[in-house]
Structure 1
Amino acid sequence: MRHYEDRGLLVSSRTPTGYREYGAEAVGTVARIRRLLGAGFNLDTITVMLPCLGDDPDLPIGMCPQVAARIRENVARIETESADLARRRRAIEELIAQR
């Protein structure tokens, strides 16, 4: 969580003894961050996207222009990677078939 705070994604307060305390909203923010990381976005991209998201981590991601553009870019990247993996698989299968 400190890493997320260092990136400006979370805000904490400090206790008199120096411990970090996070508000209740941090739970939802971390859930959204983890969900976006799981979808293949990096923290730089999430930093741009996070302000566009709603407060409920279980609701669909909001479609402000920045979020919509990043999602389209990510889908295009995944499609390219998928096609590349399919080409590699065919090449490997051809090598195996030549034995």
Structure 2
Amino acid sequence: MRIGELSRRTGASPRSLRYYEEQGLLVSTRTPGGHREYAEGVVERVDRIRCLYSAGLNSDTVRRLMPCMYANERGEPAPDLLDMFRDERRRIDAAIRSLERTRDSLDTVIDETVLAREASAAPPSAREPVTLTPIRT
């Protein structure tokens, strides 16, 4: 398939696909007219690359991880590669915890704002009960 089709099927821009190829993450062949041609199996590979990038990994790390993610490329990972996997997993776990704390803080602000708006928009009878004191003359 050509780069436009791969882009449509994966959501990755043609520019990103060319970048992945420059980084050694994708391989294409060239038509006689110079157009890139990709094998069918590259769709899943692009999805995996995009997932790793969205997790915050850089190109060098993604390049080192990719051979370990496919059975036909997989060998026994080197111990330092396993250490890198563990480090990346810890970094991602920390980022998730941080995002969850941020989300919880936002939920608190949203909930408090909604409650305050509802309280101020309610008619006086729905707010606090009013006690009337008789006027003595």
TM-score of the aligned structures, taking structure 1 as reference length: 0.65
1:74 alignment partner in structure 2: 92
Structure 1 residues without counterparts, runs of 5 or longer: 57-61
| Higher alpha-carbon deviation: 77-86 or 64-73 | 64-73
1:18 Cα offset (Å)? 0.9
Amino acid at match of 1:69: D
2:36 alignment partner in structure 1: 20
Quick one: distance in 2 between partners of 1:91 and 1:31? Answer: 35
Quick one: distance in 1 between partners of 2:102 and 2:108? Answer: 10
Amino acid at match of 1:92: I
- Change over 3 Å in CA distance of 1:72–1:41 after alignment to 2: same
Counterpart contact for 1:48–1:66, Cα < 8 Å: no
Are 2:24 and 1:8 equivalent residues in the alignment?
yes
Larger relative contact order, structure 1 or 2 (CA cutoff 8 Å, min sep 6): 1
Quick one: distance in 2 between partners of 1:68 and 1:79? Answer: 16
- Change over 3 Å in CA distance of 1:67–1:30 after alignment to 2: same
Are 2:59 and 1:33 equivalent residues in the alignment?
no
Structure 2 residues without counterparts, runs of 5 or longer: 1-16, 121-137
1:42-99: CA deviation from partner (whole Å, max 9, x where unpaired): 462533422332237xxxxx88332232122112101111111101211221232234
Among all aligned residue pairs of Structure 1 and Structure 2, give the percentage whose two residues are the same amino acid. Answer: 33
Structure with max Cα Rg = 2
- Change over 3 Å in CA distance of 1:48–1:33 after alignment to 2: same
1:59 alignment partner in structure 2: none
How many aligned residue pairs are there?
92
Amino acid at match of 2:35: Y
TM-score of the aligned structures, taking structure 2 as reference length: 0.51
